[in-house]
């Protein structure tokens, strides 16, 4: 996946659920491929609690986070309608491509690499044209940039109340605060991996009642069969009430694992508020360690730096291939950059979920220590190689750059 984690990150409680023997797809005791006693798995309250929403409709569909884009594009946007994409990295590009594939007319505001789209840019675009929807990636995994969801939602609703606000939260849900109702967010799309702590394979979408009304009142047919909310809404309602209904076979064990993790997040200590605080503290610790090494983060402003991951420029002369094996020896997995224009210049590392919340695992200590040791080792190796060839080695600045205060 596009985001990295400490070795063996899957919480034990979720791992147990995914490793249970597969539930048979068709038995008399099973309703819609799920046993009646396990129907509580599909209750929506925990999903709503996580997003601070009273009445969002949850869609759980087998697929990756990318399927969330298809749901938005096929259910909410009719061919020829205008959509504004706030682009802070690779996934802004991809969301635009998906929307265009379904016939949307897309305008993009593309932020400078390492930056987020500003309020003034959003206001200018909204005053110039009426948009059916504004989309943004809350945390773009390719850059580590955290967009200000509260500002975006409130700005859009203040200028164009009918415009839908769509948040791509694949890399932010459960590690960044999202107040769906209060901030005017109409759709939050995410996936089961990353902050939600379950294996990949579930597309999870929360839609406001306003978004559902738009989908139900569209003039043209939904442009997807599998992603159609008209197909899935009766299924979700049936799951909620424990009644049998079928459209497509659900990944039962995966849903059980996901719901087990979701209950741990929303119903067991720490509270959501404390969880978000712990992510900020962990993020600060990792980013301070990066600054101590004399390295620079990709996000230009700490206010817009994600709390569940970090994107860091490599030292001069050091490549991702120099770091990966060294960190792997220390049981830490990272990956290189993803943005097409800068992917050779930086690396990304994740620090979210159980790694942050369950301090007794020692994951964060291991990560910081491994990062410092591996980078210093890689730099020393490169400098020694340059000296052997009679070249001037890279010299780290005498003073370590002080990292400004991140958002609190």
Nearest alpha carbon to residue 203 among 243, 230, 169: 169
Q: Are 72 and 187 in contact (CB under 8 A)?
A: yes
CA distances from 178 to 50, 146, 301, 313 (A): 8, 12, 20, 28
Return the number of other C-beta atoms located less than 10 Å from residue 25's C-beta.
Answer: 11
Could you give the CA distance from residue 247 to residue 26 in angstroms, rounded to a whole number? 14
Pairing of β 164-168 and β 202-207:
unpaired
Q: Are 293 and 368 in contact (CB under 8 A)?
A: no
348 annotated binding-site participant: yes
The β-bridge partners of 108 are 85
State the number of CA atoms in the 13 A half-sphere of 137 facing the CB: 29
Could you give the CA distance from residue 331 to residue 317 in angstroms, rounded to a whole number? 24
Pairing of β 30-31 and β 34-35:
antiparallel
Q: Are 174 and 50 in contact (CB under 8 A)?
A: yes
Where is the binding site, in residues? 348
Where is the binding site for substrate, in residues? 348
């Amino acid at each position: 996946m596009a985001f990295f984690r400490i070795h063996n990150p899957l919480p034990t409680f979720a791992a147990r659920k995914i490793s249970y023997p597969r539930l048979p797809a068709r038995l008399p005791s099973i309703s819609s491929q799920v046993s009646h006693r396990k129907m509580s798995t599909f209750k929506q309250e925990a999903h709503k609690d996580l997003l601070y929403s009273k009445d969002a409709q949850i869609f759980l569909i087998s697929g990756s986070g990318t399927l969330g884009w298809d749901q938005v594009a096929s259910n909410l946007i009719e061919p020829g309608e205008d959509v504004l994409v706030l682009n802070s990295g690779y996934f802004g590009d991809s969301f635009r491509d998906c929307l265009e594939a379904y016939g949307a007319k897309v305008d993009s505001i593309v932020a400078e690499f390492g930056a987020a789209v500003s309020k003034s840019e959003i206001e200018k675009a909204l005053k110039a044209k009426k948009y059916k929807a504004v989309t943004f990636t809350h945390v773009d995994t390719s850059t580590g940039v955290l967009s200000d969801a509260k500002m975006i939602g409130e700005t859009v609703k203040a200028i164009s109340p009918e415009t839908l606000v769509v948040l791509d939260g694949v890399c932010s849900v459960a590690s960044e605060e999202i107040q769906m109702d209060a901030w005017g967010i109409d759709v939050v799309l995410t996936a089961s991996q990353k902050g939600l702590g379950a294996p990949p394979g579930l597309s999870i979408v929360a839609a406001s009642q306003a978004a559902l009304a738009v989908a139900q009142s569209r003039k043209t047919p939904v442009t997807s069969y599998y992603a159609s909310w008209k197909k899935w809404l009766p299924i979700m309602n049936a799951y909620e009430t424990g009644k049998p209904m079928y459209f497509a076979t659900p990944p039962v064990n995966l849903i059980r694992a996901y719901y087990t993790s979701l209950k741990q997040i929303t119903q067991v200590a720490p509270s959501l508020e404390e969880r978000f605080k712990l992510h900020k503290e962990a993020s600060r610790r990792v980013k301070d360690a990066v600054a101590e090494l004399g390295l620079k983060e990709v996000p230009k402003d700490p206010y817009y730096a994600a709390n569940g991951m970090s994107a860091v420029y490599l030292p001069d002369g050091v490549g991702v291939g120099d770091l990966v094996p060294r960190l792997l020896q220390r049981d830490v997995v990272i990956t290189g950059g993803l943005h097409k224009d800068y992917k050779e210049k930086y690396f990304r590392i994740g620090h979210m979920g159980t790694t942050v919340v369950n301090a007794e695992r020692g994951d964060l200590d291991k990560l910081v220590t491994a990062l410092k040791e591996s980078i210093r080792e890689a730099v020393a190796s490169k400098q020694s190689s340059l000296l052997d060839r009679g070249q001037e080695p890279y010299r780290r600045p005498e003073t370590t750059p002080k990292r400004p205060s991140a958002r609190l």
